[in-house]
Structure 1
Amino acid sequence: MTGNIRAHRPGPAAWAMLTWTEAKLVWRDTSGVIIPLGLPMLIMVMNGLGSDGSAIPEFGGLSAFEAYVVPLTIAMVVALVGVVNMPSFLATYRHTGVLRRLSVTPAHPTLVLLAQVVVSLVQSVIGVLLALGLAVALFDASLPRGLLAAIGVFLLVAAAMYALGTLVAAISPTTNSSIAIGLVVFFAMLAAGGGFGPRENLPTWLATIGEYLPFGAGLDALTATWMGAAPELQHIAVLVGTTVLAAGAAVKLFRWT
């Protein structure tokens, strides 16, 4: 009987139901809603209030708020949700035995990973859209001049951050350790990648490292799309490389029990 159960693979309808269940569980968690939805709007408003909206030639006539702060907020939101928020849910499922119980049912634990990534991505998209809406409505910010390129870069940044988040979940034995490791990774990328100010203010060696981390590469690529320029290939390569390497390592190291 067990062999027959294992032989049966759940179809798209079962996976869709699992994803919907994951969405409801995340929605009931206060931090699972406030961080991806409320934090982006708060960051955008705080930075917008401190901007004078002056056009800067180096940014193609855009203000620093439009060309730097808006892409920075987007990259920050995706990194926070992907590297900190999502792994905490996966670590909780392992710690409470959810993944172990799923391993003996047709709903393989891998489906939980996929469902959690989809739910987190939807959260990130909603959070970014809300923040962008506030930036446009309250501070007259412009949308990216290279809109399609910006969407493509956003998806690459999300893929890189979720791959890192899955790796964090893979090596974290408990929920608290997942949050701790995720926060260390998040703030390290943020500090070196320009999250606390332009990288030009950092030592040369640290600024160089920051540019080749996924946060710095994603920020530079998003900034380029806002100005209507093509993202540099090295930044795209960093995002793709991070996705492949982190996802591969997570598959090797992830423990279901």
Structure 2
Amino acid sequence: MTPRAYALLTWTEAKLVARDTAGLVVPFALPALIMVMNGLGSSDPTADFAGLTAFDAYVLPLTLTMITALIGIVNMPSFLAAYRKAGILRRLSVTPANPLSVLAAQAAVALAHTLLGVTLALLLARYAFDATMPRSPLAALAVFALATATMFAVGLLVAALAPTPNSAVAIGLLLFFATMATGGGFGPRQNLPDWLATAGAHLPYGAALDALSATWQGTTPDITSLAALATTTLAAVATATKTFRWT
């Protein structure tokens, strides 16, 4: 596929995503609502977060993690499963436009969607709640890139296994809320049983949240969190590659 053809395909994917109002708005609105609800409460800098407020060191990284998880694990698989059910991937397989180009175009659109959501969240946090940016900005970018790759890899696995668009959404939502609940999305993991808190810290949501929170505090992310994200990414991509059905 030529670069021009790929650009047209990506633009078409972007227009299809834009027409899905719920899928376009929810990854922005839900994290923003949670962030605003937390931001309206009083919060003072504490030693627990290296002199930062809980909003800066915990709520803001949680919001960014939520955005990329919703888009990667819930939104993206539903589109790919819909294309399979409609026979689009099968028809593309006998044309010069390889079906892999659809995956690449959908990933590019999902990445743009994610970056837009993150930009809006950061602007809201900065100007509405005077939030601080990460003390280790380069590390934050690297961690966020790894976290995004992990969420997209899990989403690709969901798309590979889900037989229908509805099942892709159901599986994606189940994984999203399960990893969010055990990863600290509904409150500190210390409130969970030890074994569940430990598992949550190694699942994508908890590992991404811990690593991003560390960059906001200016500390080095725990190697176990980074290893968990990298391992999940490789395992999900490898499994999806083996199991992805084009028809």
TM range (shorter): over 0.9
Q: Which residue of 1 aligns with 2:130?
A: 140
Q: Aligned AA for 2:178? A: A
Checking the alignment, whether the CA contact within 8 Å between 1:62 and 1:227 is kept in structure 2 is: yes
Q: Which residue of 2 aligns with 1:14?
A: 5
Q: Aligned AA for 1:212? A: H
The offset of 1:36, in angstroms, is 2.8
Checking the alignment, whether the CA contact within 8 Å between 1:40 and 1:128 is kept in structure 2 is: no
Q: Which residue of 2 aligns with 1:106?
A: 96
The offset of 1:44, in angstroms, is 2.0
Give the SS at the match of 2:94.
Answer: coil
In our comparison, the structure showing a higher alpha carbon Rg is 1
Q: Aligned AA for 1:73? A: T
Distance 1:37 1:108 in 2: 32
Q: Aligned AA for 1:32? A: G
Q: Aligned AA for 1:135? A: A
* 1:146-191 CA-partner distances (Å, limit 9, x unpaired): 1111111111000000000000010111111001111111111011
Checking the alignment, whether the CA contact within 8 Å between 2:32 and 2:63 is kept in structure 1 is: no
The offset of 1:14, in angstroms, is 1.5
Given candidates 18, 26, 33, the residue that maps to 2:17 is 26
Checking the alignment, whether the CA contact within 8 Å between 1:41 and 1:127 is kept in structure 2 is: no
Distance 1:39 1:118 in 2: 22
Given candidates 48, 53, 58, the residue that maps to 1:68 is 58
Q: Aligned AA for 1:78? A: T
Q: Which residue of 2 aligns with 1:246?
A: 236
Higher mean C-alpha displacement, 26-35 vs 185-194: 26-35
Checking the alignment, whether the CA contact within 8 Å between 1:19 and 1:115 is kept in structure 2 is: yes
Distance 2:113 2:37 in 1: 21
Checking the alignment, whether the CA contact within 8 Å between 2:27 and 2:117 is kept in structure 1 is: yes
Distance 2:144 2:120 in 1: 15
The offset of 1:121, in angstroms, is 1.0
Q: Which residue of 2 aligns with 1:166?
A: 156
Q: Aligned AA for 2:108? A: V
Checking the alignment, whether the CA contact within 8 Å between 2:81 and 2:163 is kept in structure 1 is: yes
Distance 1:251 1:242 in 2: 14
Checking the alignment, whether the CA contact within 8 Å between 1:80 and 1:186 is kept in structure 2 is: yes
Distance 1:216 1:41 in 2: 19
Q: Aligned AA for 1:225? A: T
Q: Which runs of 5+ in 2 are unaligned?
A: none
Distance 2:190 2:31 in 1: 25
Give the SS at the match of 1:235.
Answer: helix
* Aligned pairs, number: 247
Distance 2:88 2:20 in 1: 17
Q: Which runs of 5+ in 1 are unaligned?
A: 1-9
Give the SS at the match of 1:31.
Answer: helix
Calculate the aligned-residue CA RMSD, in Å.
Answer: 1.0
Distance 1:122 1:100 in 2: 26
Q: Percent of aligned pairs with the same residue?
A: 60
Distance 2:34 2:183 in 1: 17
